[in-house]
Structure 1
Amino acid sequence: MTKDNQHPFFRPLWRRIAVILVCVGWAVLEFATNAPGWGMIALGFTAYAVWAFLLTYNPPAENKE
């Protein structure tokens, strides 16, 4: 069993970066609409995504059956 961030869907770098950019966009939208609480939550998701998808990402092993 793999961790959620090691799902084969996230193997391509562009998909991991896309998730991070969506989180950043969400944070910007929340701050722009004067909702700093939700903006901070979105920044927290962004920080976790950077940590999980860029800094500590370990691609899943290939299945050879």
Structure 2
Amino acid sequence: MTEEERQPEPPEEGNRTVENAVLAGFFVVLVAAGIWLLGTMADVRKAQDCAAQGRRNCATIEAPERTR
């Protein structure tokens, strides 16, 4: 066996770039989902705290804006 046959082939740069892009995209989606989940959990916690205090008007009601 010659010296060239013993050395493993280096990975292709094109595949590494695609893998890094996919991994970065997955990370961005994961962070966005985490932020959305934290916001939703905070809203639920506020509603539960309100209900635990015995209040009856805990649900938020969105009314349309009046136009003149």
Question: Where is the helix percentage greater, Structure 1 or Structure 2?
Answer: 1
Could you state the TM-score of these two structures normalised by the residue count of structure 1? 0.43
Could you state the TM-score of these two structures normalised by the residue count of structure 2? 0.41
Q: Which has the larger radius of gyration?
A: 2
